[in-house]
């Protein structure tokens, strides 16, 4: 199971790195007689990641500029946004890991209590 987690983390890191380089390419207009293809799922996911990172970066730079008196450059929006997005993903997955442990503890306690109840009902009769 540990290898599965490691593979998932590397895959997610690769996706985020690919999303960071999406804006590097140039946009070329399609000829007028060619029908535009609808965006693929990968394009939509990368657009979502970029949009979320953009908003997070703007928000962080705004808050940090309130603290520092407008000393931070707007060039920090993208890197701060992507780092905040990756950090939020890590926190989310850590919470899921914690929740899974709590749920397992609850299930184990539930089964123990259920077995105790079955034994008490069997002894009562």
pLDDT tens-digit map of 12-39: 666 655 555 554 454 555 566 666 678 8
- Which position has the token pair 């293809």? 37
Residue 41 pLDDT > 80 = yes
Tokens, residue 34: 């060619």
Judged by DSSP in three states, 51 sits in: helix
pTM: 0.56
pLDDT at position 28: 54
Mean pLDDT value across residues 64-80:
89
Assess if residue 34 is contained within a domain: no
94 pLDDT more than 80? yes
Distance between CA atoms of 17 and 40, rounded to whole angstroms?
18
Domain count, the chain: 1
| Cα–Cα distance, 46 to 101 (Å, whole number) | 31
C-alpha–C-alpha distance, residues 61 and 6, integer Å: 32
d(CA 53, CA 83): 8
Does residue 99 fall inside a structural domain? Answer: no
Does 50 reside within a domain?
yes
Q: Judge whether 101 lies within some domain.
A: no
HEC string of 72-88 equals CCHHHHHHHHHHHHHHH
Residue 27 within a domain? no
d(CA 117, CA 123): 10
Quick check: is 68 in a domain?
Answer: yes
pLDDT band at 11 (very low <50, low <70, confident <90, very high): low
60: in domain = yes
For 68, the domain range is: 2-20+42-94
Q: What is the pLDDT of residue 97?
A: 87
Q: Is the confidence at residue 48, as pLDDT, over 60?
A: yes
Which among 74, 76, 77, 71 has a CA at the least distance from the CA of 55? 77
Q: pLDDT class for 59, splitting at 50, 70, 90?
A: very high
């Amino acid at each position: 199971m540990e290898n599965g987690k490691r593979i998932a983390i590397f895959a997610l890191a690769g996706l985020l790195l690919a999303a960071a380089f999406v804006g590097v390419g140039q946009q070329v207009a399609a000829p007028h007689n060619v029908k535009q293809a609808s965006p693929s799922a990968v394009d939509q996911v990368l657009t979502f990641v970029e949009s979320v990172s953009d908003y997070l970066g703007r928000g962080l730079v705004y808050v940090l500029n309130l603290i520092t008196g407008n000393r931070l450059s707007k060039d920090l929006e993208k890197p701060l946004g992507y780092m905040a997005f990756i950090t939020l993903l890590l926190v989310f997955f850590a919470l899921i890991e914690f929740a899974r442990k709590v749920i397992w503890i609850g299930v184990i306690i539930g089964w123990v209590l259920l077995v105790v109840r079955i034994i008490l009902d069997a002894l009562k009769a």
